[in-house]
């Protein structure tokens, strides 16, 4: 075919013929040389199509695992390993990574994920990512350990914080969520008192995913005083452990009233607490008063559960000595003592302990602005009459629980 170029053809035809000759040669060469290799690449399913993005797929599989929800489920596994290696991941988190950090990864919502390098080279989960934002809506989402597949599933709770309102239940929950063996729902579920008709399957789906040896927990303080709840909890599980945070009933009632006043205008405390202020007859129909009669509510629960399945947490000790009280709670739950005095510092402004470091953050963390409100001034004689009212109930409660809380 190349001999055509030696004959006398018109210049345009000659040029076209030469180009066609070269094209045919290229096609023949490609067919003979390249096609077998391409067939070999395609022998493995989808390999030819995925060759271009193989590097990206590897990055996806190692970093994101099976997606954003999956790496949130692995957070507690990372903390569990860290606890066994005596490592605090939060100590190594950068407070404010620079804009030129080579390990920054962009996301569609514009936030960034910062690489975390732990100090233990033997830890198989030694690298992960932290979110800029705190998305603690029930599942702890801050760190993505680069681990292998973990079988996480949603289970019904083995531990429930059942009360009491304004006793310190939110503080207890936040402190327990520092523990790697605890997975807790953030918002109150109110299943057993308000949404029981939704069924146990609905309730289970509200729980966070857990892996082996992790405890599922939820908190709804109104359970303790609701008449139908003990039987319903018993029907779910006879072995569930129950945490009850109690506090001086008078102080608790004033705190309850303070919360109500912050939301709406209402009567004075004295007008609500007594049927007749002159006679001093206490109005037990007011919920703020009724909740504090702990012995009456506990009697209903003891009809279904033995005392050994209850842990009565002192709300006062959670403020004055949180490390010691958390040690008692961890012993009751049968988990390793991880949360201790080193996790807390006392905030003089709020008047109660705060966490030195929030989960997945290098900055201190206190409970929300709704916690630690200043109480209104109540006349001393009103407080004394309420203490006299509660005293016999408190003494009976001490006998039932086997713990003296030393309330005035």
pLDDT in tens, the chain (408 residues): 445 445 555 677 778 888 888 888 777 776 655 554 444 444 443 444 443 344 334 443 443 444 454 445 555 555 554 544 343 433 333 333 333 333 334 444 444 444 333 333 333 333 333 333 333 334 443 333 333 346 899 999 999 999 999 999 999 999 999 999 999 998 999 999 999 999 999 999 999 999 989 999 999 999 999 999 999 999 999 999 999 999 999 999 999 999 999 888 889 999 999 998 777 899 999 999 999 999 999 999 999 999 999 999 999 999 999 999 999 999 999 999 999 999 898 887 777 788 886 555 556 678 766 666 778 889 999 999 999 999 999 999 999 999 999 999
How confident is the model at residue 8, as a pLDDT? 54
**From 166, 219, 241, 358, active-site residue:** 166
8 A C-beta contact, residue 309 and residue 240: yes
The answer to whether 69 is annotated as binding is no
Of 308, 162, 159, 304, the closest CA to residue 235 belongs to: 304
CA distance 183 to 165: 21
Tokens of 331: 């012993």
CATH architecture of 153-401: 3-Layer(aba) Sandwich (3.40)
The DSSP H or E segment spanning 275 is strand 274-276
Contact 183, 212 (CB under 8 A): no
* Encoded tokens for 404: 């003296």
Residue 105 annotated as binding site: no
Q: Is residue 166 annotated as a catalytic residue, yes or no? A: yes
231 has binding-site annotation: no
Residue with tokens 């709770």: 157
Contact indicator for 208, 201 with CB cutoff of 8 Å: no
Question: CA nearest 192: which of 290, 304, 288, 306?
Answer: 304
Long-range contacts from 200-205, C-beta under 8 angstroms, 24+ separation: 200/156, 200/236, 203/156, 203/236, 204/154, 204/155, 204/156, 205/154
Whole-number pLDDT of residue 285: 95
Domain definitions of the chain by residue range: 64-131, 153-401
Q: Determine the pLDDT at residue 75.
A: 57
What's the whole-model pTM score?
0.65
pLDDT at 349: 73
DSSP 51: S
167 is in an annotated binding site: yes
How far is the C-alpha of 41 from the C-alpha of 36, rounded, in Å?
9
Q: Where does 85-220 have alpha helices with state H?
A: 169-176, 200-205
């Amino acid at each position: 075919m190349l001999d055509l170029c030696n004959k006398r053809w018109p210049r345009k035809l000659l040029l076209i013929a030469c180009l066609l000759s070269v094209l045919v040669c290229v096609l023949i060469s490609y067919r003979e040389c390249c096609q077998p290799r391409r067939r070999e690449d395609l022998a493995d399913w989808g390999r030819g199509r995925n060759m271009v993005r193989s590097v990206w797929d590897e990055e996806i599989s190692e970093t994101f695992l099976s997606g954003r929800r999956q790496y949130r489920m692995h957070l507690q596994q990372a903390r569990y390993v860290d606890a066994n290696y005596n490592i605090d991941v939060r100590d190594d988190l950068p407070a404010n990574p620079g804009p030129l950090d080579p390990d920054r990864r962009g996301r569609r919502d514009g936030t960034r994920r910062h690489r975390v390098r732990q100090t233990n080279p033997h830890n198989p989960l030694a690298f992960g990512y932290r979110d800029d934002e705190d998305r603690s809506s029930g599942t702890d989402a801050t760190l993505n350990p680069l681990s292998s597949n973990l079988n996480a599933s949603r289970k019904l709770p083995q531990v429930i914080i059942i009360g009491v309102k304004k006793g310190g239940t939110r503080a207890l929950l936040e402190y327990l969520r520092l523990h790697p063996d605890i997975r807790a729902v953030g918002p109150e579920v109110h299943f057993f008192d308000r949404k029981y008709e939704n069924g146990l399957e609905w309730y289970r789906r509200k729980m966070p995913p857990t892996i082996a040896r992790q405890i599922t927990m939820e908190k709804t303080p109104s359970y303790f005083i609701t008449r139908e709840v003990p039987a319903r909890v018993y029907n779910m599980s006879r072995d569930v452990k129950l945490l009850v945070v109690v506090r001086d009933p008078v102080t608790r009632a004033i705190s309850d009233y303070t919360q109500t006043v912050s939301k709406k205008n209402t009567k004075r405390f004295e007008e609500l607490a007594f049927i007749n202020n002159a006679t001093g007859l206490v109005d037990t129909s007011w919920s703020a008063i009724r909740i504090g009669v702990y012995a009456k509510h506990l009697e209903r629960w003891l009809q279904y559960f033995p005392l050994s399945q209850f842990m009565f947490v002192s709300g006062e000790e959670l403020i004055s000595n949180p490390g010691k009280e958390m040690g008692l709670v961890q012993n009751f739950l049968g988990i390793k003592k991880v949360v201790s005095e080193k996790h807390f510092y006392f905030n003089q402004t709020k008047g109660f302990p705060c966490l030195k470091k929030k989960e997945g953050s290098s900055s201190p963390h206190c409970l929300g602005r709704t916690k630690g409100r200043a109480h209104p001034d109540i006349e001393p004689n009103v407080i004394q009459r309420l203490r006299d009212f509660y005293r016999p109930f408190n003494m009976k409660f001490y006998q039932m629980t086997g713990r003296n809380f030393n309330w005035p």
